[in-house]
Amino acid sequence: MIPAAFDYIVPDSLETAAASLAEAGDNAKVMAGGHSLLPMMKLRLAQPSVVIDLKRLDALRQIRSEGGALRIGALVTHHQVETSDEVSGNCPLLAMTAASIGDPQVRNRGTIGGSVVHGDPAADWPAALLALGAELTLTSKDGSRSVAAGDFFLGPLTTAIEPAEILTAVSVPVPAAGARSTYRKVKQKASGFAIVGIAVCLRMDGDSCADAGIGVTGLAATPFRATAVEDQLKGKALTADLIASAAAQVTDGVTALDDIHASADFRSHLARLNTARAIDDALNG
């Protein structure tokens, strides 16, 4: 299908982009790679009157270390994260997550910012960003604010970003030296999206788990941090029995999605199984 008519703006600076977005009002959309936005427009599920293409904002394509965090520009592609030495040296969980997304074409075109703002409940990034305690920087013509990943994802295709805001960066605290992490997902066969995806980051103190971050995507309408599981692990030796009983709590109080890819019961089973396996992989892998 052909999208409805729209005006197309290609600003040269973030300031101009933010001003154009404010001027255009609620019916404008910014575009990163267009990998989700264009299909939505072709299906007429989105009919923006103005599209603001961010492609000239090269400052948003950078990855850098800053104050104990990795600051990843919103236009950084999944492929850039997957292949960055800065990322693999400081936070391999991010590189692993990026490598699991779609196929090479998707990873070359899709951006971390576009994925996060799109808010697909089966997207991979939320699991890692929740597990690692990431912060998102949102910029409008009036300034910038920071939102924790845990407060950003509100529901299917719904996030805490305001219509006049542009996501400019994702900041991920660099895990402590010796932290152990992994990302496990059960993929939809055609697209690669997560039926269930579990990101785990553990900090061990000898045999005892000093800290744990566990992010879950695909299971429910909103990705979430599995704090009940984390609490079971913290301060304890991670025996096989403890991992199994803690992982079983990942579905407590969660309404699992039920769709053509997996029933709610099967998804819940996959979530419990893969949470246990992810903790074990992080610990022993």
Distance CA 10, CA 32 (A): 11
E strands, 156-251, are 158-159, 166-173, 180-187, 194-205, 208-217, 224-225
Of 11, 17, 18, 35, which one interacts with ligand FAD (CB under 6 A)? 35
- Which residue lies nearer to ligand FAD by CB, 117 or 134? 117
Cα torsion angle, 96, 102, 107, 112, sign: negative
Determine the 3-state secondary structure of 162 from DSSP. Answer: coil
Q: Which stretch binds ligand FAD (CB under 6 A): 63-71, 105-113, 225-233, 251-259?
A: 105-113
Strand 194-205 and strand 208-217: the pairing is antiparallel
What is the three-class DSSP state of 200?
A: strand
Residues 124-183 that bind ligand FAD (CB under 6 A): 124-125, 161, 166-167
Which residue in the set 84, 111, 137, 181 belongs to the binding site for ligand FAD (CB under 6 A)? 111
Chain-centre distance for alpha carbon 194: 12
Taking CB under 6 A as the rule, does residue 73 contact ligand FAD?
Answer: no
- When the beta carbons of 81 and 254 are compared against ligand FAD, the nearer one is 81
Q: Does 96 bind ligand FAD (CB under 6 A)?
A: no
Q: Single out the residue of 183, 283, 184, 213 nearest to residue 243, CA to CA.
A: 283
The answer to the question of residue 218 lying near ligand FAD (CB under 6 A) is no
Q: Interface residues with ligand FAD (CB under 6 A)?
A: 29-37, 74, 78, 101-102, 106, 109-111, 113-115, 117-118, 123-125, 161, 166-167, 191-193
